[in-house]
Structure 1
Amino acid sequence: MTVQKQFDLENYLTTGVENIVKGAIKATLKDPKESAFMVSFAAASKKGASRRRQWADKGEHIPPFLIASITSACNLHCSGCYARSNESCVDGLPDCQLTAEQWLAIFLEARELGINFILLAGGEPFLRRDIIEAAAKVPEILFPIFTNGTMMDEAYLQLFQQCRNLVPIFSIEGDENLTDQRRGEGTYATLLTAMEQMKRRGLLFGTSVTVTTENKDVVTSPDFLSQLSRFDCKAVIYVEYVPVTEESRELAFGDEEREWFQSKLSAVREEKPEMVFISFPGDEKSSGGCLAAGRGFFHINSHGGAEPCPFSPYSDINVKETSLKEALHSRLFTFLHEQELLTADHQGGCVLFEKREQVEKLLAQ
């Protein structure tokens, strides 16, 4: 009988962060300014890990990642958009969203807790230049900015050149046909122009790919990845598609596709050592369960609500009235941990999407 080795979540996350930083340093040796920043950030990352260990000694688990949806507004209407389907993404800028000053306070608290990565999302985060400029004031934190790439301009390019802790992550669906089919005609060409501008200035950037049963072969193909490599793309983040409706479940991975994808990803990492490949959420069944609700990360929406994950938009606490540390002890987060929903057996992919009726029942009490 084989005894399964206990999963060490903290070691898994800390090692993952360190490997990402080491890979970025190696990939940017030709750019002294970029390399100098990554070396500096590596030191800040170790300091952050030390702070998290100090909190752990006091019985407090602090995740190394935070996802911040800094706006609900977006300039595109992508087919199958999860944010639009749950009305967390809209046209125009609502008045009740957090200000740049409030977000800066959140970023500074995150730094003191030992959080090293804050992923800026939306909506389209480029619509909130004031918040991105606030993030630039916290160089100890790396801010990947998940953007559709259509709003890149000279002012943003200059900001990224001056503040290397801001790293655009361009959303792309594969080739021109797949990208324009989902995001609108001409989006692919605009993305390539943005990537070329980043390359010309020697700026670090990555890409985000929503992986479905329809595009999985294209987005892991040598042609697609070689094209990204030619633009000097340093990171590819694969995000498994979460169904918007029951009818769209056929686009989401099953166990067979997920096993194929993880095998393909291992091969890609060997073939493209100059790039960093991250899979989210990956196979939760074999990686110790879902990392949401503070196990590995949590989400702050544009109104300040603390949520387990962007794909589980439920909240019972708001950081406008409380601290990040207190939000990690919310009734919802505590329930998810105590009921072991995050490590519960499920079909794979997003466990909280699958268990959403239990989450909604709790919030209705």
Structure 2
Amino acid sequence: MMLQYMHRMLTETDPKGLWKISYNCAYKGIRSVNLYKKRLKQGIHFPPFLFISIINSCQLKCQGCWVDVKSPRKMISLEDMNRIINDAKKHGNSLFGLLGGEPFLHPQILQILAAHPDCYFQIFTNGQFITDEVARELRRLGNATVLISIEGSEIVSDTRRGQLKVLNKTMEGLQNAVKHKLVVGVATSVCQSNYELVSEEWLKKLIKMGVHYAWFHTYRVVGPDPNPQLALSPEQVLNVRRFIVQMRKKLPIAIIDAYWDDNGEALCPMATGVSHHIGPGGDIEPCPIIQFAKENISDPRGIYEALTQSEFMKDFRETAAKTTRGCIVLERPDLVKKLALQHGAYDTTQRQTALAELDALESRSSQHNPGNEIPEDHWVYRFAKKHWFFGFNAYS
């Protein structure tokens, strides 16, 4: 299976893009995690990976979305992005996730990529703005992968995305990305309406389309319109985990998850400190769905000092890790509210209803399911997770 996957990458992707993902992402990403481990021994928490929502605007309005996509546009300028990335690079970071809204609505997104050829970017997108011209430029730059969100059949997609003919437009973007030999991923927020995508047939279809990796998220009941009826049951979440582990040994496609370690125990990237989030207003948040902050990128100290000296972020990590190995927002929304009030954190949304939304949430299960752990069964994933994506003593 691994040989088949390597053959796919060698024959289906542009040589420059393959080199960039191998060096800027894989090699330098490993180095970044190792530097993070060294910092932890000194009691310093600066994440090896940063996720940055560069703009709030989006042409879609998805069920369960927590972003103010229809509010007045907020975005991080090219100048501020360069400052954030350059500051993080000084401490070994090289991999950045670009989110939105829809990142390709940012008028300078390609300039951001061009300004940092020594970094690698994962762009979380609905794919509808990946035109032939954009895909060609992404190929020329070589330092970005597109992670395109596909939420099910045409009918399901239209319902989930709040607009008609969404899937066709997304597929056009995916085809442009494949045509120009980009490293292409497909992300799915698995919920009740698209649970059938948790299947071998779906992954085989992705492989046939030229997709190189899949990322299965489990649906998060958050935001102003959380749609709790879409949430998975604990048994379904366990089935998603079992499916991921099985398919990693069977098919020549990489499958990413961010919720379990090598032993199959649940983890939260925020609680372990491996990643934090910067919102479109420059607010420094624990993770994308926790929309409270005490610090902003406008802080003259810079992103490194703002993060490493934040009592709010420290308390959030420690409280989350002591409370659960799963998602504190799903399991204990009351604690999220308590932490925000205790630290005097401000609501980073434009709608200014984040506290009320927490009040309305009911406690529910997340990926933490003690006694039902499913360990990694493929040696590559097991080794990678054990050394570069695990608990970092957060749960000890």
Residue identity over aligned pairs, in percent, reads 25
Secondary structure at 2:214 match in 1: strand
Moved more, 278-287 or 260-269: 278-287
1:40 aligns with 2:23: yes
1:225 is matched with which residue? Answer: 203
| Matching of residues 1-365 of structure 1 within 5 Å | 27-30=8-11, 31=13, 32-41=15-24, 42-83=26-67, 88-94=68-74, 97-183=75-161, 184-216=163-195, 218-244=196-222, 248-272=227-251, 274-282=252-260, 287=265, 289-292=267-270, 295-321=273-299, 322-328=301-307, 329-338=309-318, 340-345=319-324, 348=326, 350-365=327-342
- RMSD (Å) for aligned C-alpha atoms: 2.8
Query: What is the Cα deviation at residue 179 of structure 1?
Result: 1.5
Moved more, 322-331 or 204-213: 322-331
Number of residue-to-residue matches in the alignment: 334
Distance 1:151 1:102 in 2: 23
1:8 is matched with which residue? Answer: none
Query: What is the Cα deviation at residue 24 of structure 1?
Result: 7.9
**Structure 2 residues without counterparts, runs of 5 or longer:** 343-396
Structure 1 residues 38 and 343, CA gap change in structure 2 (3 angstroms): same
Q: Given residue 355 of structure 1, which amino acid in structure 2 is its aligned partner? A: R
Q: Given residue 169 of structure 1, which amino acid in structure 2 is its aligned partner? A: L
Query: What is the Cα deviation at residue 228 of structure 1?
Result: 1.2
Any conservation in 1 of the 2:277–2:288 contact (CA below 8 Å)? yes
Secondary structure at 1:271 match in 2: coil
Q: Given residue 206 of structure 1, which amino acid in structure 2 is its aligned partner? A: G
> TM-score if structure 2 supplies the norm length?
0.76
> TM-score if structure 1 supplies the norm length?
0.82
Query: What is the Cα deviation at residue 283 of structure 1?
Result: 8.4
Moved more, 67-76 or 181-190: 181-190
Distance 1:161 1:326 in 2: 35
**Structure 1 residues without counterparts, runs of 5 or longer:** 1-19
Distance 1:285 1:257 in 2: 19
Any conservation in 2 of the 1:240–1:280 contact (CA below 8 Å)? no
Structure 1 residues 192 and 132, CA gap change in structure 2 (3 angstroms): same
Distance 1:284 1:317 in 2: 33
Q: Given residue 333 of structure 1, which amino acid in structure 2 is its aligned partner? A: M
Moved more, 181-190 or 47-56: 47-56
Secondary structure at 1:306 match in 2: strand
Q: Deviations over 1:70-95 (max 9, x none)?
A: 01111112233232xxxx3334524x
Any conservation in 2 of the 1:213–1:252 contact (CA below 8 Å)? yes
Q: Deviations over 1:170-194 (max 9, x none)?
A: 1111222221221222111112222
Distance 1:124 1:55 in 2: 33
Any conservation in 1 of the 2:271–2:320 contact (CA below 8 Å)? no
Distance 1:44 1:136 in 2: 18
2:381 is matched with which residue? Answer: none
Distance 1:207 1:74 in 2: 18
